[in-house]
Amino acid sequence: MVNRSDVHYFGAGPAPLPTAVLERASQVLLNYKDKGIGLCEISHRSPDANDILADAKQALTTLLDIPDDYEILFLQSGGSGEFSATVYNLVSIWVEKKRAKIAEEVGDDKAEVLKRLRKAVDEELKLDYLVTGSWSLKASQEATRLVGAQHVNVALDARKANGGKFGTIPPESEWNLTPRKSGGGPALVYFCDNETVDGVEFPAFPHSLEGEDAPLVCADMSSNFISRKVDVPKYAVIFGGAQKNIGNTGIAIVILRKSLLPPASMPASPDLLRELNLPVGPIILDYPTIAKNNSLYNTLPIFDVWVASQVMTGLVNAYGVKRIGGQEEISNDKARQIYETLDRYPEIYRVVPDKAVRSRMNICFRVHGGDAEKEKAFLAGAEKRGLLGLKGHRSVGGIRASNYNAVSLSGAKSLVAYLEDYAKAA
């Protein structure tokens, strides 16, 4: 029998979880707090469920130093569901703000308000997308499906600067962002902070999205959540699926600026959106509804939240005043060791993305120039050493070592040793 301690798993998601968390999970699944029933069986309306939610929020707040003017939501949509949710919610806010401004100008003439609002939507409504990999591409495609291509501005398609493939992030001077002006600008600017499939990560927050008139920035952090420091106030919405660094499959986490919630911001009414031929989102993706109900509008999988809370609390306890900076140091060290080894043998290994935007979380490379048989042999040799989950995404092939938080330093060193041995024997 193969023991858990005999292997190191580098799969991109669902990803490994800390063994100590899984051991506690096996206990609470059977009997939570000596109640005689398991955690999956308790009511999501119970005091215990509310305590779990509060603990998870507090741990994430501590790790990322989230300000008081932000709300944390838990939803069952996954990261892909948030592609839709951000569009539904922020377009609705944009429309209502535009309606209110027009109403101030024309008074109670509802027909005139609607006429001008239709014109504003047709001519001004834009959603900006920075497409740097497979997931940001999917997000832009979902926005196009929901609101129409005329409202979606792909401000950056990184493939155009890289021979039709992802792997670079062109300089910001080449981005075609919707102009920001007083009372105008895009409804949102979306980017994926770390592209799981393509191994591309933004090295820092884009300078062009900063400033007093900064747009509403939505960032998908599914695969690098709680792996490095985040300047939260620069973002309107941060979201991510839990199944990479935070927990198991089943929930998405949203960090949302409270000024986007009532009474500070009001969404357009469903009737108005229908009159404007804009989509009305499902209630379970409606941020005001989820926030008002403490993420418990519908039956939330509390076990999944408990796992996330355990993982995040473990990091809080491990790093103390360093907060997420402690994990960032380890993540950087693991990635550095792996990349340095790959770069040491350029005749054997080729890292796919440009060096300036290499992901610390998803290390994508080819073996012997992408020779299919040799890459198959490489993977087989890795499995013999207990190094699992290294096969690249089916859409791009190659090798991918996902360096998530639960991959230990010893796991990274084991991979480095195999890379060294393989290269020397090749």
Cis peptide, bond prior to residue 233, ω within 30 of zero: no
Domain hosting 249: range is: 55-304
CA atoms within 13 A on the CB side of 313: 15
Instruction: Give the CATH number of the domain where residue 144 resides.
Output: 3.40.640.10
Q: Do 335 and 299 fall into the same domain?
A: no
Q: Do 288 and 351 fall into the same domain?
A: no
Is the residue at 258 inside a domain? yes
C-beta of residue 83 within 8 angstroms of C-beta of residue 140: no
Q: Do 186 and 280 fall into the same domain?
A: yes
Element (H, E) at 9: strand 8-9
Number of structural domains, the chain?
Answer: 2
Is the residue at 309 inside a domain? no
Q: Do 332 and 187 fall into the same domain?
A: no
Q: Do 329 and 300 fall into the same domain?
A: no
Q: Do 250 and 359 fall into the same domain?
A: no
Residues 416/230/240/224 CA torsion (nearest 10 deg): -10
pLDDT band at 87; cut points 50, 70, 90: very high
Q: Do 291 and 332 fall into the same domain?
A: no
Q: Do 266 and 399 fall into the same domain?
A: no
Residue 1, pLDDT above cutoff 90: no
pLDDT digits (tens, 9 = 90+) for 297-313: 999 999 999 999 999 99
Is the residue at 77 inside a domain? yes
Q: What is the spatial distance between Cα 196 and Cα 193, in angstroms, rounded to a whole number? A: 10
Is the residue at 240 inside a domain? yes
Is the residue at 316 inside a domain? no
Q: What is the spatial distance between Cα 401 and Cα 385, in angstroms, rounded to a whole number? A: 15
Going across the sheet that includes 362-367, the strands are 349-351, 362-367, 399-402
pLDDT digits (tens, 9 = 90+) for 390-404: 999 999 999 999 999
DSSP-derived 3-state class of residue 139: helix
pLDDT digits (tens, 9 = 90+) for 92-102: 999 999 999 99
Is the residue at 49 inside a domain? no
Bridge partners for 194 per DSSP: 201
Residue 56, pLDDT above cutoff 70: yes
Q: Do 365 and 404 fall into the same domain?
A: yes
Q: Do 331 and 234 fall into the same domain?
A: no
pLDDT digits (tens, 9 = 90+) for 326-363: 999 999 999 999 999 999 999 999 999 999 999 999 99
